[in-house]
Chain A
Amino acid sequence: MTRIENVVCSFCGCLCDDIIIEVEDNCITAAKKACANGRSRFLNVHTQAAQPTVDGKEVDWPQAIDAAARILTDAAFPLIYGLSSTASEAQRKVIALADLLGATIDSTSSVCHGPTTIGIQSQGEPTCTLGEIKHRADLVIFWGCNPTEAHPRHYARYSVLARGKLTPQGRKDRTVVLVDVRPTASSKKADIFLQVRPGCDFDVLNALRALLKGRDLDVDEVGGVSVAQLQDLVGRMKDCRFGVIFFGMGVTQTGGKHLNVTELLALVAELNAHTRFTTMPMRGHGNVAGADSTLTWQTGYPFAVNFARGYPQYNPGEFTAVDMLARGEADAALAIASDPVAHFPRQAAQRLSQIPTIVLDPEMSLTAQVARVVLPTAIYGISAAGTAYRMDNVPLPLKRVVDSPQPTDEQVLDWMIERVKTCSA
């Protein structure tokens, strides 16, 4: 048995890097310290060889790469989508491919924290690394997210139970507030739960800003929350030593979307006139933060990028994957490290089965089942090494803990880029 320590789990944006993996006969037998999500990721790995397929028939790699390159070069408006479950090394390569093709490239951010990006672009973002929360935060607010189920070790490692320099007693040294439209597993663990009427996050955030500025509200409640409760929260925000709002898709994907985020970011910025206050989006996929970063340093923009004019253009709504598919614009697609058919609205998902679609993924996903070309690759953080960015943009090295007969995304993309160059020449 081999025991590998300090392994990074790349399931979610927490990127816990203290996992102990035990391997026997190239098979993971234990994933110690991992949460239920992480354990299922590590323990359900298969390392049998899988052949690429074209139109459902097994082919060899050169044939598959050739078919994929032809689809992409023949297309007038190809779309590349996904990125968030692969390593940044592969992300950099797939952006190079998009540049070469004049394609559109979009990440899963566009259906989770894309509005967060738009909010940050208008308002800025007072943030910090997770260690600052661990050591300093005495007021921790979760808004529109459910970490107990989505980020199970967040409380223990970073935000609530973690014992830090100024928070030596962990949970006892903090006030935890949860804001959501319904009680959840997370709300049960909070000191204060504010239940907001669905769709009213903006109103509540706006009321908090007004109260912070010392305005009187001539109503008794806003968005289902009493003004007395809001007044109490504002008092706690001003009086804390170091506060934080973590927010999730309850803020970014409900009515108002980026306007909710902008309001939240404005509130946090304004609180810094009273004390130190920060905020952070609860990023879902293991390397979705990396997708934002790599796209930004190569194109200037974190998602919804189009290269049709030979240079990067950014326009959420125009160059976002769901919109391009639902409008029937994309005439070929490459899905990498994501499963859009499983997650997109019906119209967009249907389009993926109507156009030639290529899938680069370790799993036989729903998208792979409708794809013309399927390229099964090794799994980053398990059977391939690379880099992932935590939700606070701290980059961590992903280890290869078992061997895989599959090539990595990076290798496949190298082959594809070479083939596309010869196709175009």
Chain B
Amino acid sequence: MLGIINGEVYDPQNGIDGQVRDIWIEDGKVISSEGVGRAGAEIIDATGLVVMPGGVDIHSHIVGAKVNSGRKFCPEDHRDHVRTRTTLTRSGSGYTVPTTYLTGYLYAEMGYTTVMEAATAPLVARHTHEELEDTPILDKGVFITMGNNHFIMNCIRDGQREKARDYVAWLLEASKGYAIKIVNPGGVENWKWGRNVSEVDDEVIGFGVTPRQIITTLAWINDELGLPHVPHIHGLNLGGIGNARTTVETIEALEGRRAHFCHLQFLSYGGKPGKRLRSGAAETARAVNEHPNVTVDVGQVIFGQATTMTSDGPLQYRLHQLTGNKWLNDDVEGETGGGVVPMLYKRKNLFNAVQWLIGMELFLLIDDPWRVFLTTDHPNAGPFFCYPQVIKLLMDREYRAEVLEGIHPRARKGALLPELDREYSLYEIAVITRAGTARALGLQDKGHLGVGADADVTIYAKLDDKEEMFAHPTYVLKGGEVVVRDGQIVRECPGRTLYVTPPYDPGIEADLRAHFEECYTISFDNYPVAAEYLPHCEVVPCA
């Protein structure tokens, strides 16, 4: 048994806002403090320290085909960013695209214990799971890209949404996935013709369906299957000037069904096409405030080096043309596509400065912290280990004003941000980094410290400099074991992979065999990821 005593606890899920509490842990779970026999228990004296549940990241690209391509073609990213092996830990390298072991260590050292890999094509999910097994400490799940899937689009065209529902359930189990991911629905398929979609009612070439139909069908399926998370949507026209309008239209297209919109910063661009970028944050934040069925994460830009990587093939090609940087493209048969382009965000670049400002405005204009979450869409807008910098920007308006002074002056002109003096509290930070994300993901044992919760706990020194405070927790516990002490990994343990197994009509397999014969270059029997690939796992129940 282990007790964390006298800590200042922030546990928003249970309404605890900085009260001094003791947390008792046994067998990896939080237990009731009533009748606890202290004798023989290990005690962490948290007097004067801040205690929170372990961080839960709702959207980060940490493993799999695209991330590994990013590592492979950017040796310049790794050369000056290395980790030396110790008797406890493996060596590693990488700044925006760290190696798997290093990713586990860096997240844990920042007090995060659960991370969701944001996009995997099911055809290569086996690769993703191999990398996850080499990513220590963290619990994690995988979002499966379905927004350009041929089988689903055929079902929609033929009016067979029940068949699509059974397929989605089968696909999640076959790929050992956690949630439905939708990336530029229809646009990635059209990219295989060198085209894209730009409106929710544009047509997907060869299928006669629209982005609106894909999104609404998958949102319906998600509710039917009772998946713990909601459809995780990367919308249309990402990065395009004036895309805030399409984003609002996409939110409205859901007609009240639940969904999560990821890295909203990249989808909140105002201004007119061909003109300069202006913030559209007010427009999208208003839509979010008016639609309680929607949650978002921000994808805050961090000035410095990043690596853009998405399943949005046409977007990545455009970034290659805009920047002249090297370009990797990877179209995946019958399912999706993808690309990788390195990127440098500069304070003095007007476009980048406005991107930074839009992220900040979203955080400050969306009223309900339970519906807006902290991400950098790692490594697209910046590396995840810069989250503490974002926390400081949110908690400290003087610091924010200082950074604002240093960006391109024209970005500030007419912007809302200088007028926004809201500051996040520690309680609200706990919401946007763990309680809210765990709730949105449907992870009942994560993101809180109530009885029965997973004993993933982060303990911080209470410092005025919030960046320093959140960058170097004093203790991090994973499953009740201390894994980080004073910023150093003191124990390496494997994390678990979380996935779902919604029920489906097994009759669908006959259809799928025919589909595989026609569409794939691998056999149906070799497609599902077998249980042996997940030696450490947990099935999260559906409703």
Measured CB to CB, the residues of A under 8 A from B are 5-6, 8, 17-18, 88, 92, 96, 99-100, 117, 120-132, 134-136, 157-158, 165, 241-242, 269, 272, 275-276, 278, 292-294, 296-302, 307, 309-312, 314, 387, 389, 393-397
Contacts and interface: CB of A to CB of B under 8 A. Distances in A.
Given A129-B332, A132-B331, 18 more contacts: A121-B72, A124-B327, A128-B330, A128-B333, A129-B331, A129-B333, A135-B333, A157-B521, A269-B327, A272-B329, A276-B194, A296-B72, A297-B100, A298-B92, A301-B75, A312-B82, A394-B123, A396-B522
14 contacts: A88-B130, A92-B130, A127-B330, A127-B331, A131-B333, A131-B521, A272-B194, A278-B331, A299-B99, A301-B72, A310-B85, A394-B522, A395-B130, A397-B530
A298 B126 contact: no
Interface string B122-162: 01101100110010000000000000000000000000000
Nearest to A425: B87
Given A124-B327, A395-B127, A396-B522, A300 B85 contact: no
Nearest to A311: B82
A136 B519 CA distance: 11
Nearest to B326: A124
Contacts of B69: 125
B100 A298 contact: yes
Contacts of A307: 85, 91
Contacts of A301: 72, 75, 78, 93
Which range contains the number of B residues in contact with the other chain? 35 or more
Contact of B193 (A99, A276, A294, A310): A276
B330 A314 contact: no
Nearest to B63: A297
A394 to B, nearest CB: 6
Nearest to B128: A395
Contact of A397 (B63, B334, B526): B526
Contact of A396 (B78, B93, B334, B526): B526
A300 B71 contact: yes
Interface in B487-543: 518-523, 525-526, 530
B92 A300 contact: yes
Main secondary structure of the interface of A (DSSP, over half): mixed
B91 A126 contact: no
A310 B87 CA distance: 11
A309 B94 CA distance: 16
A125 B523 CA distance: 27
A401 B71 CA distance: 35
Can you list the 5 inter-chain pairs with the closest CB atoms, starting with the nearest?
A131-B333, A124-B326, A128-B331, A311-B82, A300-B93
Nearest to B337: A128
Given A132-B333, A311-B82, A312-B91, A117 B72 contact: yes
A301 B193 CA distance: 33
Given A269-B327, A397-B526, A298 B99 contact: yes
A311 B92 contact: yes
A124 to B, nearest CB: 4
B349 to A, nearest CB: 22
A126 B328 contact: yes
Contacts of B248: none
The secondary structure that dominates the B interface is mixed
A96 B330 CA distance: 29
Nearest to B83: A311
Given A88-B130, A296-B68, A298-B134, A312 B329 contact: no
A27 B390 CA distance: 62
Interface in B285-333: 317, 320, 326-333
Given A300-B99, A389-B127, A5 B525 contact: yes
Contact of B328 (A125, A294, A309): A125
Given A272-B194, A298-B99, A130 B526 contact: no
B426 interface: no
Contacts of B124: 393-395
A397 B126 CA distance: 9
B97 to A, nearest CB: 8
Nearest to A91: B130
B400 interface: no
Contacts of B520: 131
B523 A126 contact: no
B523 A6 contact: yes
A126 B525 contact: no
B523 A120 contact: no
B329 A99 contact: no
Nearest to A274: B194
Nearest to B333: A131
Contacts of B328: 120, 124-127
A300 B320 CA distance: 23
A354 B337 CA distance: 49
Nearest to A125: B328
B350 to A, nearest CB: 26
B208 to A, nearest CB: 15
A387 B125 CA distance: 12
A293 B521 contact: no
Contact of A131 (B63, B68, B519): B519
B99 A297 contact: yes
Interface in B2-50: none
A223 B191 CA distance: 35
